[in-house]
């Protein structure tokens, strides 16, 4: 669905029989870019996420009451906060007379390459959507999520918010979300070293000249990988999941990256690369047991570089954001 059209002409869900007063939602972590799909490809990851509780208020404003969890030193000014800006965009587009009060619980560290800023704004939107008289389809929240994500990254790219909204592997252009099917057995190993790599710094590493041949090779690899996913052909994915454009320029920012990636490949990964802007590293596997063994080996490689790390093993067809609970008017 075209996100701009969705914001202008939303297709509402059925009217709720009782007005919701507050709602809480969880948005999962994600692997942005998936190596070869810079800014346009990502998949959700089970096992980590941000929660948002949103309360409907009479004042026509967005107010952030508190930020809790693993990160608390974030702006309370909604215009400077990804979740706050997303809710401001929702209010403006729909012409809402009421406002929202938001409490965020951060479960994803910022600068981790796991979609921490995107998770906050998607969780807030899904919770706020439940408070509308006519809630919108998930796809219709995409444009508002892009507005929020831009606060953190400086640009409107949907490789994190797209898969959080729809679940699984998603191709996310500026105006459209396309769910890409993958076999249920395929899993991701995601390893997050205990260091921070700011998205803006990681993007700065991409400045400089590029050769036309690099773009041709990257396009070919992306095409092979997407074809492999649609056909369930691991051989095509193995041939295509190779980032020749971005990874070589960002790898020096991540201590021990080469050994961590090799650990994944040594455990039969279809491919491995940097998750989002880094420093987390992911690998794709045909079976969960392979991903689980690889995650331990990848963490050991980070340890050799002097970094503790956390590991997640998730289906590539991971979960979407979802409501946890809704409080309704008696």
Residues annotated in a binding site for ATP: 109-119
Alpha helix segments (H runs only) across the chain? 3-8, 82-94, 116-129, 142-153, 161-166, 199-204, 212-231, 234-240, 247-250, 257-266, 288-304
CA distance 235 to 257: 24
Annotated binding residues: 109-119
Q: SS3 of 121, please?
A: helix
Q: Which two tokens stand for residue 106?
A: 């951060």
Cis peptide bond upstream of 118, omega within 30: no
Describe the strand order of the beta sheet including 309-315 as a list of residue ranges. 271-274, 281-285, 187-193, 309-315
CA distance 181 to 224: 14
Non-local CB neighbours of 315 within 8 Å, separated by 6+ positions: 46, 184, 186, 187, 188, 288
Q: SS3 of 159, please?
A: coil
Q: For 272, phi and psi rounded to 5 degrees?
A: -150, 150
- Output 206-214 pairs: Cβ under 8 A, ≥24 positions apart: 206/246, 206/249, 206/250, 208/249, 210/245, 214/244, 214/245
């Amino acid at each position: 669905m075209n996100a701009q059209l969705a914001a202008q002409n939303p297709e509402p869900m059925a009217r709720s029989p009782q007005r919701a007063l507050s709602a809480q939602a969880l948005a999962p972590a994600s692997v942005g870019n998936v190596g070869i799909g810079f800014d346009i490809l990502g998949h959700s990851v089970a096992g980590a996420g941000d929660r948002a509780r949103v309360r409907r208020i009479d004042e026509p404003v967005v107010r952030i009451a508190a930020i809790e969890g693993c990160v608390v030193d974030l702006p309370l000014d909604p215009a400077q906060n990804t979740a706050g800006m997303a809710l401001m965009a929702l209010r403006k587009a729909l012409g809402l007379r009421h406002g929202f009060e938001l409490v965020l619980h951060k479960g994803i560290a910022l600068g981790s390459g796991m979609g921490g800023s995107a998770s906050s704004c998607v969780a807030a939107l899904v919770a706020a959507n439940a408070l509308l008289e006519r809630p919108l389809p998930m796809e219709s929240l995409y444009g508002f999520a892009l507005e929020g994500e831009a606060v953190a990254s400086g640009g409107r790219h949907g490789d994190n918010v797209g898969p959080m909204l729809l679940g699984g592997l998603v191709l996310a252009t500026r105006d459209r979300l396309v769910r890409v099917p993958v076999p249920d057995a395929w899993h991701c190993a995601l390893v997050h070293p205990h260091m921070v790599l700011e998205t803006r710094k990681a993007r700065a590493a991409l400045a400089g000249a590029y050769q036309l041949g690099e773009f041709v090779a990257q396009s070919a690899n992306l095409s092979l990988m997407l074809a492999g996913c649609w056909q369930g052909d691991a051989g095509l994915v193995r041939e295509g999941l190779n980032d020749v454009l971005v990874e070589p320029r960002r790898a020096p920012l991540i201590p021990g990256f080469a050994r961590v990636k090799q650990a994944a490949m040594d455990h039969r990964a279809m491919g491995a690369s940097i998750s989002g802007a880094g420093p987390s590293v992911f690998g794709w596997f045909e079976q969960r047991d392979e991903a689980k063994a690889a995650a331990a080996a990848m963490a050991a490689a980070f340890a050799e570089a002097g970094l503790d790390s956390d590991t997640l093993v998730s289906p590539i067809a991971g979960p979407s954001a979802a409501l946890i609970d809704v409080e309704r008017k008696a």
